[in-house]
């Protein structure tokens, strides 16, 4: 008999598990699965991101803070009449959005200092984990709340509570809260859709090593003797949203009165870079200009194969540096 009693008790606890917090936990898991399963740019992945960022973690935390439906009321003549803090449905929804929008920036600021780094998968995993943990704490808090004061998801009861609240101030408050939810959701939706419509981009940089071995920009050697080369590190940062194949054309350009009068291709490189990753290559670039001539060395970036006549104007992006071929000391001595 004791075994049957324990089994019934366990089943009773399962039956009392709050429906809304079960939905929140399952939604967090489903959103994480969608983010990690579908490719970037997928509509399903984008739709799964909205609740995970906008609502789910905030609702879970609000459930921990407010397990009941009644507010704590204090009278000067006596103690608190109700100790189980609670809020109504409209306030709960509004707070869920506000708290979610407060949680996400904290996650984004903290992740770069962890071993996981800042990325789509790490953000989704962290938000899903936070949501599930808070949801389980909310279950504990709610089950410890006396049943008459416990918050329960019931659409019919919620409508009755709104009808019973006839005050104009209360009605206006509810309208403003619902409006705030819609405004926040619309702002977040616009923030997601605007970058998606703008497309991705690629960053190209030219660097050289300093005395400590660190890569620095703007300090590339600007003078070489004939036959010598300039050490340059070329870096590609892919933010296109997918793996991209690139072509790089290293071109020496001679000028006369601010116009290019001659182009010499020094070398051509190819690279395939995954989204969010950086590819670097160390090159030794040897100018072919005559002694005393100053030329511009441009690195022209193309997606796929380069055109027949690469120029700075038809490149996806470009980077360059100036270098002067100095007089050969041995020639001067002769």
Q: Please compute the mean of the pLDDT values over residues 68-95 and round it to a whole number.
A: 61
pLDDT band at 123 (very low <50, low <70, confident <90, very high): confident
**If we measure between CA atoms, which residue out of 309, 234, 274, 242 comes closest to residue 40?**
242
Q: Pairing mode, if any, of strands 317-325 and 294-303?
A: antiparallel
pLDDT band at 180 (very low <50, low <70, confident <90, very high): low
Q: Pick from 46-50, 64-68, 175-179 the range whose average pLDDT is largest.
A: 64-68
Q: What is the pLDDT of residue 90?
A: 74
**CA separation for the pair 275, 242 (Å, rounded):** 5
Q: What is the pLDDT of residue 176?
A: 65
Q: What is the pLDDT of residue 194?
A: 46
User: Cα dist. 224→117, 235, 319 in Å?
Assistant: 41, 23, 19
Q: Is the pLDDT of residue 198 over 70?
A: no
Q: What is the pLDDT of residue 181?
A: 60
Poorest-confidence range of 51-55, 203-207, 260-264, 294-298? 51-55
Q: Where are the domains of the chain?
A: 2-198, 201-333
Tell me the whole-structure pTM to 2 decimals: 0.49
CATH of domain 201-333: 2.60.40.10
Q: Please compute the mean of the pLDDT values over residues 112-116 and round it to a whole number.
A: 84
Q: Is the pLDDT of residue 330 over 70?
A: no
**If we measure between CA atoms, which residue out of 148, 153, 146 comes closest to residue 63?**
153
Q: Which residue has the higher pLDDT, 9 or 299?
A: 299
Q: What is the pLDDT of residue 318?
A: 95
Q: Is the pLDDT of residue 84 over 50?
A: no
Q: What is the pLDDT of residue 14?
A: 62
Q: 272-275 contacts: CB < 8 A, separation 24 or more?
A: 272/243, 272/244, 272/245, 272/246, 273/236, 273/238, 273/243, 273/244, 273/246, 274/238, 274/243, 275/40, 275/200, 275/238, 275/239, 275/240, 275/241, 275/242, 275/243, 275/244
Q: Please compute the mean of the pLDDT values over residues 89-103 and round it to a whole number.
A: 83
Poorest-confidence range of 17-21, 128-132, 192-196? 192-196
Q: What is the pLDDT of residue 93?
A: 81
The secondary structure of residue 305, as a DSSP letter, is S
**CA separation for the pair 284, 233 (Å, rounded):** 9
Q: Which residue has the higher pLDDT, 179 or 203?
A: 203
pLDDT band at 293 (very low <50, low <70, confident <90, very high): very high
Residue with tokens 């890569």: 215
Q: What is the pLDDT of residue 187?
A: 61
Q: What is the pLDDT of residue 154?
A: 59
**CA separation for the pair 229, 221 (Å, rounded):** 9
The dihedrals phi and psi of 236, each to the nearest 5 degrees, come to -120, 125
3 state DSSP class of 211: coil
Q: pLDDT tens across 127-159, in order?
A: 999 999 999 999 998 888 888 787 777 555 555
Q: What is the pLDDT of residue 83?
A: 47
């Amino acid at each position: 008999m004791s075994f049957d009693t324990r089994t019934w008790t366990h089943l009773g606890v399962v039956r009392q598990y709050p429906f809304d917090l079960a939905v929140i936990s399952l939604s967090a898991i489903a959103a994480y699965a969608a983010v990690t399963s579908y490719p970037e740019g997928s509509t399903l992945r984008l739709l799964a991101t909205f609740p995970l960022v906008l609502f789910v973690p905030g609702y879970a935390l609000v459930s921990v803070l407010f397990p009941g439906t009644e507010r704590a009321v204090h009278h000067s003549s006596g103690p608190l009449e109700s100790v189980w803090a609670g809020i109504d449905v409209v306030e709960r929804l509004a707070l869920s959005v506000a708290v979610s929008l407060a949680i996400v920036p904290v996650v984004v600021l903290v992740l770069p200092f962890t071993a996981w780094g800042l990325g789509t998968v790490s953000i989704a995993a962290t938000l899903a984990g936070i949501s599930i943990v808070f949801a389980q704490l909310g279950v504990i808090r709610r089950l410890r709340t006396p049943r008459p004061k416990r918050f329960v998801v019931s659409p019919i009861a919620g409508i009755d509570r709104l009808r019973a609240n006839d005050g104009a101030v209360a009605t206006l408050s509810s309208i403003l809260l619902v409006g705030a939810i819609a405004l926040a959701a619309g702002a977040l939706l616009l923030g997601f859709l605007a970058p998606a419509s703008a497309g991705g981009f690629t960053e190209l940089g030219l660097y050289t090593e300093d005395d400590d071995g660190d890569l620095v920009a703007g300090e590339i050697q600007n003078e070489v003797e004939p036959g010598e080369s300039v050490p340059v590190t070329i870096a590609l940062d892919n933010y296109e949203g997918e793996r991209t194949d690139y072509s790089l054309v290293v071109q020496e350009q001679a000028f006369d009165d601010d116009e290019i009068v001659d182009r010499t291709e020094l070398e051509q490189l190819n690279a395939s870079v995954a989204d969010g990753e950086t590819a670097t290559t160390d090159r030794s670039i040897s100018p072919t200009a005559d002694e005393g001539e100053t030329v511009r060395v441009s690195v022209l970036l193309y997606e796929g194969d380069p055109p027949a006549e690469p120029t700075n104007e038809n490149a996806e992006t470009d980077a360059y540096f100036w270098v002067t071929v100095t007089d050969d000391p041995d020639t001067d001595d002769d």
